[in-house]
Amino acid sequence: MIASDVQRILALSLIVAAVLSNAAKAQDAEPSAATTPRTEDGKPDLSGRWGGAGGGGAGVKAIEPDGSEIDFETFGAYQAALTSGRVSPSARILGRQPNYRHGNNVYSERDGGMTQRYYANPPLYKPEYWDRVRYLDINGNFEDMTFICMPAGVPRMGPPIRIIQTEDDVVLLYQQRNTWRIVPTDGRPHDPLNAEDQTFMGDSVAHWDGDTLVIDVVGFNDLTWLGWPGWFHTNEMRVEERFTRVGDTLQYNVTVFDPEVLLEPWIMDPRVLQLNRSQATYLEDPPCLDFDAEHMVTRERG
């Protein structure tokens, strides 16, 4: 391959990375101009259902008895359509199928590695650790703990789908495996014992910085990753999450500190989530049971 070909490939990769990054950000909401609700003590009220169309989970398609089909990006969107009568109770429901065509759209889920790796904001590892990242990436379906039903952990699991705020704490609820966290917000220090534990969620404490709730998390194990392409961390990682409500939107910012392996703190791409007023039912995530890991014969990951 000549130099000009390599340059063209690199340029194309950068363009694709930028397009995909912008597309992902476009899915989030713009900051809201609505009035920010506040609690009795004057703090912004973070309570509410945030992001998505409700219900969570992967997309589905409904097939009516007459053969007509409707695609939904989330199961919650399907539930809302069912409630409104746009879908009949007798429709057959299928999860998003790999490599199937519907109308002019082709849905492909065979090895999502290409789009997962075109990420414009990766954590920057020290030079001696890039071989480790590459190994984990290539062997992700054997090394990624989420493939054997382990929790994704903080911060990989992202923002919660619902927040319940009280005077003394916030309850964070997640769709993934019905995970929850209860975080004290009175500014107390980390528990001396829990902060030394090594868990998937870590030990979380929070304080208010003006109108922003800042959650500090320590005490992690080193089994989880920061992201799909083998982005590992040590058990010395510290995570700072920042929640800011502006009207009917929630700004979610995360910084990862792990000086043992990272050249600098990693500031994740910010998320802006829209307040979700859907009345869709919260679904119980089915138990994660692994029967297939020992039978994998390729390194493909969905």
Q: Where does residue 291 rank: exposed (0-12), middle (13-18), buried (19+ CB within 10 A)?
A: exposed
Confidence at residue 178, expressed as pLDDT on a 0 to 100 scale: 83
Task: With cut-offs at 50, 70 and 90, classify the pLDDT of residue 90.
Answer: confident
Q: Where does residue 292 rank: exposed (0-12), middle (13-18), buried (19+ CB within 10 A)?
A: exposed
Confidence at residue 20, expressed as pLDDT on a 0 to 100 scale: 47
**Residue 244 sits in the same domain as residue 263:** yes
Query: Smallest Cα–Cα separation from 248: which of 100, 81, 113, 49?
Result: 49
**Residue 103 sits in the same domain as residue 188:** no
**Residue 85 sits in the same domain as residue 144:** no
Confidence at residue 88, expressed as pLDDT on a 0 to 100 scale: 86
| 3-state secondary structure at position 38 | strand
**Residue 73 sits in the same domain as residue 143:** no
Confidence at residue 101, expressed as pLDDT on a 0 to 100 scale: 47
CA distance 65 to 90: 7
Concatenated DSSP letters of 109-126:
-S-THHHHH--SS---B-
The more confident residue out of 15 and 178 is 178
Structural domain contains residue 38: no
Report the pLDDT averaged over residues 288-295: 70
Confidence at residue 115, expressed as pLDDT on a 0 to 100 scale: 64
Report the pLDDT averaged over residues 173-182: 89
Task: With cut-offs at 50, 70 and 90, classify the pLDDT of residue 296.
Answer: low
Report the pLDDT averaged over residues 42-50: 97
Full-model pTM:
0.73
Structural domain contains residue 87: yes
The more confident residue out of 294 and 262 is 262
Domain region containing 87: 55-107
Confidence at residue 57, expressed as pLDDT on a 0 to 100 scale: 42
- What mean pLDDT value characterizes the chain? 81
Task: With cut-offs at 50, 70 and 90, classify the pLDDT of residue 295.
Answer: low
Query: What distance, in Å, lies between the first and last C-alpha atoms of the chain?
Result: 30
The total domain count for the chain is 2
**Residue 84 sits in the same domain as residue 171:** no
Query: CA of 187: how far to CAs of 39, 57, 204, in Å?
Result: 17, 34, 11
Structural domain contains residue 249: yes
Report the pLDDT averaged over residues 104-112: 51
The residues near 57 (Cβ < 8 Å, ≥ 6 apart) are 74, 75, 76, 175, 283
The CATH number of whichever domain residue 253 belongs to comes to: 2.40.128
Reported as a single tens digit per residue, the pLDDT across 211-263 is 999 999 999 999 999 999 999 999 999 999 999 999 999 999 999 999 999 99
Residue 110: pLDDT over 60: no
Reported as a single tens digit per residue, the pLDDT across 26-40 is 445 555 568 999 999
Structural domain contains residue 194: yes
Report the pLDDT averaged over residues 262-281: 92
**Residue 185 sits in the same domain as residue 242:** yes
Confidence at residue 104, expressed as pLDDT on a 0 to 100 scale: 53
The more confident residue out of 105 and 191 is 191
Report the pLDDT averaged over residues 162-179: 93
